[in-house]
Structure 1
Amino acid sequence: MSGAADRAGHALSWARSGGEPPVTVPRDPAREAARRELSKRLYHENDPGLFERALNTFWDWLDDLFGAASTAAPGGVLGLVVIVLAVSAAAAALWWRLGTPGRRPASTAALFDDRPRSAADHRAAAEAHATQGHWNQAVQERMRAVVRSLEERVLLDTRPGRTADEAAAEAGRAFPAHTGRLRSAARDFDDVTYGGRTATEQAYARIADLDRDLDGTEPHLAHDSVPTAARNTRQGAE
């Protein structure tokens, strides 16, 4: 029966070839001929480009990575997502607390530069920056106005190397009711000057209000909180 089927197959092939004997090609030459045929540009016009192939490779690698991580993480894919979110939140909180890398410690950064100016000069500069929406510079100049005003009132010793934190701590002894606001103002100054932060209009408004309130408030002058210059002035008058 099998021989009859083979003979029938040969007869059918003979009939389809128009009476010519069928052509058979050895395996290796046939493979080479197919390779040459498939290498023609016609068959590769719609192939992905180099960038697309690289991107597909990257996504495949990322998919394998997350697949392996999800099997190792407690709770599978959901557990992995929770871990990633927790790590991201911790990193964001750390950045917000410490600022950008390279932030200089506030304790070593001087509040004023080498150009002495009056409190009025610093206030005018702050208002000019605020009018233009330059809130970083406005915050800096208004904080300098606060400290310079206290020096002009002889409530702080004039000290070129004083930092914003030091000025806030010393001024807090003369204005104990405003200690928290003074520290907040010093922190805003340090954040925009050395921490790489961006000031806001609200931050400037807080410091400007503090400047006006201190200017209209009588200081609490305990003997140990009076600056050396003020004590010398009082003793000379006596």
Structure 2
Amino acid sequence: MTTTGGTTGDVPVDVPRVPAREAAERELSKPMYHENDPSLLQRGLDRFWDWVDSLFDSAAHATPGGVVGLVAVVLVVLALVAALWWRLGTPRPAPTGSDSLFDDRPRTAAEHRAAADRHASAGQWNQAVQERMRAIVRSLEERTLLDPRPGRTADEAAAEAARSLPAHADALRSAARAFDDVTYGGRTADEPAYRRIEQLDTAVERTKPVLDTAAAAPAFTEPPR
């Protein structure tokens, strides 16, 4: 680098290249030159969105139909995810050792029915479904069709009750599934769901159990000759 002036006779002054570059870097590093620079966070966001944009462009070129095709694929995937979420609900934890059906002091079937009616009158269908299912199970225990057993789940109660009430086996399993959905699965019940369990409760009360005649019949012995 060559500069002139500042000396007698205008003798050229040679400045070595490396010191000149260092001097320029020191000058440009002063805060006054960087007052309007983007922040570190802004620079990071800019780089992230640049990456997203490049990724989107690459996917659009690889998808038939370009951007329109990619948008269609994304919408289809989102629709499938929403359908699965609605069908399966929130994953529920496995039943623990606590009483899955009855979560407070022992109550009679009539008390559970009264609680279910109160919740139904208030439009609280989740609680109404829970109490009506508890009423069904407690009623079966009171009729000695089920042995009182702490920790019994709704599914277990339905399976055991179906042995003596085979005509209601499917409805009992459906009611147990509705109970599990609102209790563990994060699902929301509605009035029709509650009315089905209410009707099942009434039907079960009026149904005579099927006795295990094979177990009750005395053993046949061949008469002596």
Q: TM-score, normalised by structure 2?
A: 0.67
Alignment deviations for residues 61-100 of structure 1 (CA, whole Å, 9 cap, x no partner): 7665533321122332343133213321332233234422
Q: CA deviation at 1:130?
A: 0.5
User: Which structure is higher in helix share?
Assistant: 1
Q: How does 1:139-218 map to 2 (within 5 A)?
A: 139-218=129-208
Query: Unaligned regions of 5+ residues in structure 1, if any?
Result: 1-54, 227-238
Aligned in 2, Cα 1:73/1:174: closer, same or farther, shift over 3 Å? same
Tell me what 2:6 maps to: none
Aligned in 2, Cα 1:66/1:201: closer, same or farther, shift over 3 Å? same
Query: Unaligned regions of 5+ residues in structure 2, if any?
Result: 1-44, 217-225
Aligned in 2, Cα 1:115/1:72: closer, same or farther, shift over 3 Å? same
Q: CA deviation at 1:197?
A: 1.1
- Write the letter of the residue equivalent to 2:93: R
Aligned in 2, Cα 1:126/1:157: closer, same or farther, shift over 3 Å? same
Higher mean C-alpha deviation, range 79-88 or range 164-173? 79-88
| CA distance in 2 between partners of 1:209 and 1:174 (Å) | 18
CA contact (8 A) 1:174 1:220 kept: yes
**Does structure 1 residue 69 correspond to structure 2 residue 59?**
yes
Q: How does 1:1-238 map to 2 (within 5 A)?
A: 65-101=55-91, 103-106=92-95, 110-223=100-213
Give the alignment's Cα RMSD to 1 decimal: 3.2
- Write the letter of the residue equivalent to 2:58: A
Q: CA deviation at 1:58?
A: 9.3
| CA distance in 2 between partners of 1:225 and 1:205 (Å) | 36
Aligned in 2, Cα 1:225/1:151: closer, same or farther, shift over 3 Å? farther
Is the radius of gyration larger for structure 1 or structure 2? 1
| CA distance in 2 between partners of 1:199 and 1:178 (Å) | 21
CA contact (8 A) 1:106 1:164 kept: no
Aligned residues: 177
Q: CA deviation at 1:106?
A: 4.7
Structure 1 counterpart SS, 2:58: helix
Higher mean C-alpha deviation, range 141-150 or range 213-222? 213-222
Moved over 4 A (4+): 55-65, 106-109, 223-226
| CA distance in 1 between partners of 2:111 and 2:187 (Å) | 25
Alignment deviations for residues 39-61 of structure 1 (CA, whole Å, 9 cap, x no partner): xxxxxxxxxxxxxxxx9999887
Q: CA deviation at 1:107?
A: 7.7
Identical columns (%): 67
| CA distance in 1 between partners of 2:168 and 2:72 (Å) | 43
CA contact (8 A) 1:106 1:163 kept: yes
